[in-house]
Amino acid sequence: MTNPMRRVAALVPLLILIAGLACAQAPEKPFLHPLFTDNMVLQRDIQCPVWGWAKPGEAVKVIVDEKGAEGKADATGKWMVKVGPCPAGGPHDVTVAGAQTVTLKNVLFGDVYICSGQPNMQWGMWGVNNSQEEIAAADHPQIRLYTVPNVVGFEPKETVAGQWQVCSPQTVGGFTAVGYFFGRKLNEELKVPIGLINSSWGGTIAEAWVSAEALKTMPDFAPAVEALQKLVADQKQLQATYDQQMDEWWAKNDPGSAAGASWADPALSTADWKPMTLPTQWEAGGLPNFDGIVWFRKEVEVPQAWQGKEVTLHLGPIDDRDTTWVNGVKVGAVDQYNAPRDYKLPADLLKSGRNVIAARVLDTGGGGGIYGKPEDMKLEAADGATLALPGEWLYVESNPRAKRTPLPQRLENNPNQVTVLYNAMIAPLVPFGIKGAIWYEGESNAGRAEQYARLLPTLIKDWRARFGVGDFPFFIVQLANWLAVDAEPKDDAWPNLRWSQWLTTKALPNVGMACIIDIGDAADIHPKNKQDVGLRLALAALGTTCGRDIEYSGPVYKSMAVEGSNVRLTFDHLGGGLVVKGDKLQGFAIAGEDGKFVWADAAADGDAVVVSSPQVAKPVAVRYAWANNPVCNLYNQAGLPAVPFATDK
């Protein structure tokens, strides 16, 4: 008979879940929204909403210094009062008076920006170049910082836990470095206070940051949104149900997991499997542009002395989800792209001689695979003895992302689900008065460029509609250079994603972009030079919505003209003229009518670039910096790099 205490224990996660959902439906709502604290920045030159909750019909007055405005709580208890417009400056006292009275101290009026995206936006000051010097110098009392906690929401939330802080060496360390350097430059140039709201989460997909209503307008995502909403509505979902759903999903979507088949079986023939040297992200190991399921296997010779020992299998981080077997026995599974895999093996599992490790890996976007450091991969006995596992493994592709059905959703702190970050990390901010937003995301959506060209504009329009301050400025960071340099021209995932980011600037008004194609790191998807990223974002803001007469972009492709076997390219944003950094202009590829691209000879000719190749007699298309990590060196006199482009896209 089952132990009754075990049955109760098994229900605890469900009870917690149901209680949590119930609380989410009927939260205790504060008199004053937690966004409004001492040391905050309110948006200058607009009527700023201030809000909270009281008894229905209760009057509330908001006073800035001696000027006040009044409102009443509606039938739901929510009240909202708009103050201003107020010019830049301060400090001010802001008093909110109703059944309670709250006075906020040291409040400034200035420009407020939301800083959002994935790890390169979340990356704190501790991880940048010259971090100690930068942090020590971060004494900027007119810059204020607010960090939104990393939480998910299955329905839109109304409040958020946080506290505005004055920027100082003591407060800036964990704050978004890109946001800080962006805000620092604006504060220096505009001489107005800057408020930065950091709402970012590493490794997240763009569709998590969009509301359900907006995502439902996209056929790509409508089924996933509806599935999540159905799951939320049914509060009796058990974790066991999710596990069963996942087993059924694997059997349906992965030939290696189908009924009667197991690619983890040590007796399986792997004659048609291919080698890959691990650790590496598989885009660099032989599977460019692949999102989906891949199986890995490795045979390991275990000495007799290891038999019967306690052994742990270490594989390092795996992007995104793995299930791992040893000698056909499942030893563990993790669904988190940046978590190390440390699986303790049963004492009788390893045998002297041949042993087989198999890992089924699912990647849903961006980089994929077993990608940590070589020293992360090993078998380790309790007495400290190790067997190294890096090197050649065998792999086989199973199903690509395009051929699989949507993954089952589960209710937990998983940020890579549709709408959940909008619900918990953007919705509670609405309709706070803002100037604009900066966005650094795309790595997790690489491989889905065509979709991203529709998804990112959907996100921007969604946020603009919610905040109610018109088509506010939205500045995108284009993906940096990363991975190995290609020997021949390719059409990889990252250049296509960059192109989608660029197209978004053309599709919507007041959308700018910072090109950082020259300041990435081939070996690190999180390059440490965040200073120039923030600077280029600030230049985009200063040169557009702030009205400064400066060059804020590198050369942008304008037109092409075929002149015999040559192609003449012209550009906007010359910034005083084209500049070639180095002895020879690099980064161009050219194609004829067969569509095959080859590296091109290129030279600056005044304000144009002339491109040709002896292999292409009748050119029809040119690409520049069209690679994961292109070798490219075209700039303008302002020192900004040319934006990657493809005339055939």
For residue 16, the model assigns a pLDDT of 37
CATH number of 252-403, picked from 2.60.120.260, 2.40.50.140, 3.10.50.40, 2.60.40.420 = 2.60.120.260
Q: Which of 569, 625, 633, 570 is nearest to 597 (CA)?
A: 625
Q: Which residues of the chain have pLDDT under 70?
A: 1-28, 235-240, 409-412
pLDDT at residue 24, rounded to an integer: 37
pTM over 0.85: no
Burial class (CB in 10 A: 0-12, 13-18, 19+), 301: exposed
Name the nearest CA neighbour of 164 among 149, 146, 179. 146
Every domain of the chain with CATH number 3.40.50.1110 lies at: 110-219+418-543
Helix (H, G, I), strand (E, B) or coil at 515: coil
Can you give the pLDDT at residue 18? 38
Per-residue pLDDT reduced to its tens digit, 17-64: 433 443 333 346 899 999 999 999 999 999 999 999 999 999 999 999
Q: Which residue has the tokens 């920027």?
A: 167
Please, where in the chain does CATH 2.60.120.260 lie?
Answer: 252-403
Q: Which helix (H) or strand (E) holds 295?
A: strand 292-302
Name the strand (E) or helix (H) holding 240: helix 239-253
Give the closest residue to 555 by CA, choosing from 577, 534, 533. Answer: 577
Q: What's the pLDDT tens digit per position in 324-373?
A: 999 999 999 988 777 789 998 988 899 999 999 999 999 987 778 999 88
Exposed e or buried b for every residue in 66-79, given b needs 16+ CB within 10 A?
eeebebebeeeebb
Pairing of strands 436-440, 474-477: parallel
Nearest Cα neighbor of 158 from 439, 461, 429, 438 is 429
Fold of 110-219+418-543: Rossmann fold (3.40.50)
How many of the other CB atoms lie within 10 Å of CB of 472? 19
